[in-house]
């Protein structure tokens, strides 16, 4: 039969970002600088949170988890992309693609749940400030953090099993610079509609639940601000929630554009741009957003930088 004559795919090939050598070199330098800046900013923020006693609170504990995710997310995709740009090494083995896909979906999923947990933390801080230490205890923080990581891993395991148990026996060129869900699904030589529906349903239920928690938390915060109607309450609330709200909008905007839609609307060129926003730029912007809007973080970062200078 025709199917018997088709060989099983043992490796995939990334289409890449550009074939022009001069543009490839420019992109390599650009993404290398962005990657180094992302690693440096998130590492410094993690060190600041772990070493400064003033930052040993639930909000900064969750922010530390976010920084760890922002270290992992570009590390899963960017080094291989840099290798493809510089050395034209665009191949990835089937197990390598599976692992990259699993790792990335796990990190993205964990971040969705973590942002919801951080929204709940901000709700308690604004609406129940006197009871905040007793409600958001160290034990609860640990359980919530473990829960977000476990949920992210289980969600990724389900998605990866749905995608990589499909038969791949024809084209092997991935229209992306990493093993993303839509372009890998598009290469399967069987009908993927039922698995697409399950993937969308699971992502919709889990992501939707996290989104509802985030939106409801901010609705309660808004109602609390309107009920108080005291001088300076808007400024205080924005200083408490502004950074997180900015990060939420940035993250949800880019991930929804990438994943929450059927594969029939998939556009390789547009998806490469959008995936760079959440996979490369967002991890760089997150620590900057929190640093610019938070005096405690600024002070801690200055302390870490001065220690590094003295050591050098």
What is d(CA 30, CA 37) in angstroms, rounded to the nearest whole number? 11
Handedness of CA 212, 214, 217, 219 (dihedral sign): negative
On whether residue 6 sits in a domain, the answer given is: no
Domain encompassing residue 160: 11-311
What secondary structure does DSSP assign to 219-255, as a single string?
A: HHHHHHHHHH--TTHHHHHHHHHHHHHHHHHHHHHHH
Average pLDDT estimate for 264-279? 68
CA–CA distance from 167 to each of 175, 241, 263 (Å)? 18, 46, 17
What is residue 14's three-state secondary structure? strand
104-152 tens-digit pLDDT? 999 989 999 999 999 999 999 888 988 999 999 999 999 999 999 999 9
Secondary structure of the chain: what % helix, strand, coil (to 5)? 80, 5, 20
271 contacts: CB under 8 Å, gap ≥ 6: 175, 176, 180, 182, 183, 258
Total of domains in the chain: 1
pLDDT classification of 259: cutoffs 50, 70, 90: low
What is d(CA 297, CA 290) in angstroms, rounded to the nearest whole number? 7
On whether residue 5 sits in a domain, the answer given is: no
On whether residue 149 sits in a domain, the answer given is: yes
Q: Provide long-range contacts, Cβ within 8 A and 24+ apart, for 1-7.
A: 3/169, 3/189, 6/169, 6/170, 6/189, 7/169
What is d(CA 214, CA 192) in angstroms, rounded to the nearest whole number? 32
pLDDT classification of 291: cutoffs 50, 70, 90: confident
Lowest mean pLDDT across 63-67, 190-194, 249-253: 249-253
On whether residue 63 sits in a domain, the answer given is: yes
The reported pLDDT for the residue numbered 269 is: 67
pLDDT classification of 79: cutoffs 50, 70, 90: very high
Mean pLDDT rounded to a whole number for the chain: 83
Give the closest residue to 148 by CA, choosing from 181, 120, 116, 100: 116
pLDDT classification of 257: cutoffs 50, 70, 90: low
Q: CB-based burial of residue 312 (10 Å sphere; 0-12 exposed, 13-18 middle, 19+ buried)?
A: exposed
**β-bridge pairing 173-174 and 11-14:** parallel
The reported pLDDT for the residue numbered 5 is: 41
CATH at residue 241: 1.20.1070.10
Residue with tokens 């610079």: 177
On whether residue 70 sits in a domain, the answer given is: yes
Secondary structure E strands in 19-135: 91-93
Tell how many helices (H) and how many strands (E) occur in the chain: 12, 3
The reported pLDDT for the residue numbered 296 is: 78
Give the closest residue to 201 by CA, choosing from 259, 273, 258, 253: 259
On whether residue 132 sits in a domain, the answer given is: yes
On whether residue 3 sits in a domain, the answer given is: no
Give the closest residue to 148 by CA, choosing from 122, 179, 120, 181: 120
Q: CB-based burial of residue 251 (10 Å sphere; 0-12 exposed, 13-18 middle, 19+ buried)?
A: buried
The reported pLDDT for the residue numbered 114 is: 94
What secondary structure does DSSP assign to 167-198, as a single string?
A: ---S--EESSSS--HHHHHTT-SS--HHHHHH
**Virtual CA dihedral for 15, 180, 161, 167, nearest 10 degrees?**
-30
What is d(CA 253, CA 143) in angstroms, rounded to the nearest whole number? 28
On whether residue 4 sits in a domain, the answer given is: no
Give the closest residue to 77 by CA, choosing from 282, 299, 311: 282
Beta bridge partner(s), residue 174: 14
With beta carbons less than 8 A apart as the criterion, state whether 90 and 13 touch: yes
């Amino acid at each position: 039969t025709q199917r018997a004559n088709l060989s099983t795919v043992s490796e995939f090939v990334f289409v890449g970002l550009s074939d022009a050598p001069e543009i490839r070199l420019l992109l390599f330098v650009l993404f290398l600088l962005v990657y180094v800046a992302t690693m440096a900013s998130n590492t410094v923020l993690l060190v600041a949170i772990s070493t400064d006693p003033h930052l040993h609170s639930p909000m900064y504990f969750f922010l530390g988890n976010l920084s760890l995710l922002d270290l992992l997310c570009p590390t899963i995709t960017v080094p291989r992309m840099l290798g493809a740009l510089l050395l034209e090494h665009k191949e990835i083995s089937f197990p390598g693609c599976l692992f990259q896909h699993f790792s990335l979906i796990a990190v993205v999923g964990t971040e969705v749940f973590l942002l919801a947990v951080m929204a709940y933390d901000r709700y308690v801080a604004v609406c129940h400030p006197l009871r905040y230490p007793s409600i958001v205890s160290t034990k609860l923080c640990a359980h919530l953090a473990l829960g977000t990581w476990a949920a992210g891993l289980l969600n990724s395991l389900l998605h990866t099993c749905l995608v990589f148990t499909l038969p791949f026996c024809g084209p092997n060129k991935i229209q992306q610079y990493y093993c993303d869900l839509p372009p890998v699904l598009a290469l399967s030589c069987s009908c993927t509609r039922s698995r697409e529906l399950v993937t969308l349903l699971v992502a919709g239920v889990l992501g939707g639940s996290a989104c509802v928690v985030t939106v409801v938390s901010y609705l309660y915060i808004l109602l609390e601000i309107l009920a108080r109607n005291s001088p300076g309450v808007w400024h205080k609330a924005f200083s408490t929630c502004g950074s997180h709200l900015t990060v939420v909008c940035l993250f949800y905007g880019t991930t929804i554009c990438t994943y929450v839609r059927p594969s029939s609307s998939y556009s390789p060129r547009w998806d490469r741009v959008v995936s760079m926003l959440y996979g490369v730029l967002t991890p760089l912007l997150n620590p900057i957003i929190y640093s610019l809007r938070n005096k405690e973080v600024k002070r801690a970062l200055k302390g870490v930088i001065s220690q590094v200078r003295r050591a050098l």
